[in-house]
Amino acid sequence: MSASGDESGVLTVIPLTGGAGEGGPPSLTGGAGKAPPPAPPPAMGSRVRGATLVLVLLIVGGTTSLLLLLLPPTTNGTPRGPRDFYSHAVTDIRGRRVELEAFRGSVSLVVNVASECGYTQAHYAALQKLYRELGPTHFKVLAFPCNQFGAQEPGSNADVEAFARHTQGASFPLFAKSLVLGVNAEPALRFLYDALGQEPRWNFWKFLVDAEGRPVGAWGPDTPVEELRPHIVGLVRDVILKRRSEEL
């Protein structure tokens, strides 16, 4: 406000702005002169909804992280790890790593062999005959020596190879002595057992695998190799026809 005097000497008070309102302080902006009331605190319902949203986000984020940990690792979006029998790697009779992928496209008869079993002579002879007649391009015999049944494969890998090659005349692939039962069983063999729901109970258990690495069937040592011939011939025929159609 400002003060001025008139001719009578009486001091007159002049408001700086108009519209202060009755009994109210003058307003510097020409408003009503009253300060706006403070904003009310957020309602309890809003706070609850906000806390619930945060909790949901935390749960979703944690669940997503857990699922990512449980999913199989991927490479460029493709899951790693064994998808079929041919996705495994094993060790051959001379200690070299072998990717079974090299046998994809061929039908395979996987057998746990032994050198001192009552089934040895007949099975080795029949397996070699089948391999000679149907292999090696479209059909393989894959032999895994094992000493878990009656301790009938006691020798070293070198002993097993000498016996199979020189005594039995086997020319099919031989792999290192392996465990075929228990938690430490060869993973490639374990894959077959889990897929078919059947484990070997003795030497010379035979597992037939198609050209894509899918287990087809299993037979024990009491089933002669020759009885498997129709199954094997049918799968081999499919392989040959497929290759011919792809060449056209």
Which among 117, 143, 176, 189 is annotated as catalytic? 117
DSSP assignment of the chain: -EEEE-TT--EEEE-SSS---TTPPPPSSSS-S-PPPPPPPPPHHHHHHHHHHHHHHHHHHHHHHHHHHHSPPEETTEEPS-SSGGG-EEEBTTS-EEEGGGGTTSEEEEEEE-SSSTTHHHHHHHHHHHHHHHTTTSEEEEEEE--TTTT---S-HHHHHHIIIIIS---S-BB-----SSTTS-HHHHHHHHHHT----SS--EEEE-TTS-EEEEE-TTS-GGGGHHHHHHHHHHHHHHHHHHH-
Is 146 catalytic? The answer is no
Q: Catalytic positions, please? A: 117
